[in-house]
Amino acid sequence: MKHKTLILSALITSLVGCANNPVSSYKSKTDARLNNIYSGNLGTAMEAESTTDVLFNMEYGSLLRMNQRYESSNLYFTRAQSSIDTWAASWANTTAGKVSTSATAMLLNDNVNDYEPRGYEKSFLTTYHALNHVDLDNLDNARIEIKRMYQIEQAIQNYNQYLYNQASADAQKQSKDKTEDYLTKQIVKNFDFKDVNSPEVLALKNSYQNAFGHYLAGFIFEALGEPSLARPGYVKAGQLNPTNKLIQQSITNIDKKVRPKTGYTDLLIVEETGHAPQIKSNEVHVPIDLNLVGTKNSCVNMINVFYPSLIIDKTNQATYSYTLDNSIVQPLPMVNTNLMAARAIKDNTSYIITRNVAAAVRNIATSQAACSTGGGLGTLLSVGTSVGGALLDRADERSWALLPGQININRQTLAYGTHTIKVVVNGVTYTKEIQLNKPYQILTFRVIGNQVLFNPQNSMLQN
């Protein structure tokens, strides 16, 4: 057993230097990026990289989008999408597709795996890819991304079914093994999942479908003159966000074939605020007594329990009202990314428990082996394995933090010509003149820190 302990220690040491460093903190990385963004240093918040890392490509694509560099943003979104497309194709018509969780992850931690975007991140990627195409005045490409969104949602649904089946099987297996059953109970007792079990989180239909993506689909299909596809976009948005009155009005308008009169624009105003929650790993040491489950002479009396918690962006408000040609407009909440992230963690609870059990089993085995060695080497190994275990026992902190924390919408019918929008953030007024000259247009702006980042308003949708 001594050599296995040494192998594990060597494996930990060697992986610390890898790209997927198992002991790195993603939260620290995003803290630095956000500080730069808040300071207005969008250009230096991240450095360009040529990488297949899907999370980097999503984050950097978002940053470039904030900086109005839509073509470059699409380059990174496309890279991220190509990683997801392979995965989605494997789950499109089956509940036995590609699984990225490796046994190494079970042995060490999730950070050694390439990042697997959460369901809501996958659907947001297509949404933002589509918005970039709208900003580049290419509705046909936006339509492709919108179609990809609902195909990916089907894949996510199949994948979630697989996870559900897997969780049931794991739970059955764990309940049959006395040690694992005991460990599971100790672990669950020490989880603090209050944030992810709130009524608002539980009220979500699921964690991966975003109402804004479907509303945008409805709007784009409507602009393209495809009401049979626009209607389900609005209907799905309404199922995901039943309280938004604008959605029901949009369905009614499609049914009544309402289109903007000649010389008028149906303007969709998209307000994005803040950033998506960061994830922090919490670790607690929990005393155990393996003698209770029949293990004799165990020298192990402690395990590490780790679980993720959300760090919500408190810098920005959820909504900011604004004026459009001096009329006050109240944006209507559409998507709360904080709730979606919380729901994603809640839906992943069984996997988090399995990860904890696997880590506890690993730590118990290596510590027990070190104890058995005896003498100075035994003490050294014991300390080494417990330090190594503590370093490894972390929840995955990776998440797409540069997504907005909240997305709000409104829709106005305005005559062609120049109009002025004003947004007040912390007492400072940000003004943008917009040119309307097509029946359907989209205006997007992002409030982050003390900045309002408007899109350039070159998105002129076709008739």
Structure tokens at 324: 């459009």
323: which 2 tokens?
């004026």
CB–CB of 128/61 below 8 Å? yes
Nearest to 388 by CA among 14, 24, 3, 9: 9
Cβ pair 287, 302 in contact under 8 A: yes
Q: 237: closest CA among 401, 88, 123, 91?
A: 123
Residues in the interface with another protein (CB under 8 A) total 49
| Among 107, 163, 302, 311, contact with another protein (rule: CB under 8 A) | 107
Q: Does 99 interact with another protein (rule: CB under 8 A)?
A: yes
Give the separation between CA 189 and CA 15, rounded to whole angstroms: 31
With contacts defined by CB under 8 A, name the span among 104-112, 261-269, 420-428, 432-440 that binds another protein. 104-112
Binding mask 302-321 for another protein (x = CB under 8 A): --------------------
Q: Give min distance, CB of 454 to another protein, in A.
A: 31
Whether the Cβ atoms of residue 96 and residue 158 lie closer than 8 Å to each other: no
Closest separation in Å from C-beta 365 to another protein: 4
Instruction: Closer to another protein by CB, 95 or 317: give it.
Output: 95
Q: Which is nearer to another protein, 81 or 158 (CB)?
A: 158
Q: Which of 89, 171, 302, 390 binds another protein (CB under 8 A)?
A: 89
* Amino acid letter, residue 59: E
Q: Which of 41, 44, 82, 94 binds another protein (CB under 8 A)?
A: 94
Shortest distance in whole angstroms from residue 203 CB to another protein: 18
Q: How far is the CB of 152 from another protein (least distance, A)?
A: 12
- Min CB(59)–another protein separation in Å: 22
Strands (E), 292-450: 302-311, 322-324, 327-329, 332-336, 406-415, 417-425, 428-436, 440-448
Q: Give the residue, chosen from 9, 72, 101, 317, that forms a contact with another protein under the rule CB under 8 A.
A: 101
Q: What are phi and psi of 105, to 5 degrees?
A: -65, -40
Q: Give the C-alpha separation, 275 to 278, whole Å.
A: 9
CB of 125 closer than 8 Å to CB of 156: no
Site string for another protein, 231-260 (x = CB under 8 A): xxx-xx--x---------------------
DSSP state of 460: B
The one segment of 97-105, 301-309, 319-327, 449-457 that binds another protein by CB under 8 A: 97-105
Nearest to 316 by CA among 29, 30, 38, 97: 38
Segment lying near another protein (by CB under 8 A), choices 54-62, 100-108, 198-206, 329-337: 100-108
CA distance 74 to 293: 55
Taking the complex as a whole, the smallest distance from the CB of residue 98 to another protein amounts, in Å, to: 4
Which of 41, 86 has the CB closer to another protein?
A: 86
Contact between 329 and another protein by CB under 8 A: the answer reads no
Give the separation between CA 262 and CA 413, rounded to whole angstroms. 11
In the stretch 132-171, what mask flags binding to another protein with x, by CB under 8 A? ---------------x--x---x--xx--x----------
Pick from 137, 181, 227, 412 the residue near another protein by CB under 8 A: 227
Least Cβ distance, residue 144 to another protein (angstroms)? 13
State residue 406 phi and psi, 5-degree precision: -145, 140
Quick one: 103 or 328, whose CB is closer to another protein?
103
DSSP 381-427: HHHHHHHHHHHH--------TTS-SEEEEEEEEEESEEEEEEEEETT
195 alpha-carbon distance from chain centroid: 16
Among 362, 394, 398, 446, binds another protein (CB under 8 A): 362
Chain residues that interact with another protein, rule: CB under 8 A:
1, 4, 7-8, 11, 86, 89-90, 93-95, 98-104, 106-107, 113-114, 147, 150, 154, 157-158, 161, 179, 217, 226-229, 231-233, 235-236, 239, 295, 358, 361-362, 364-366, 368-369
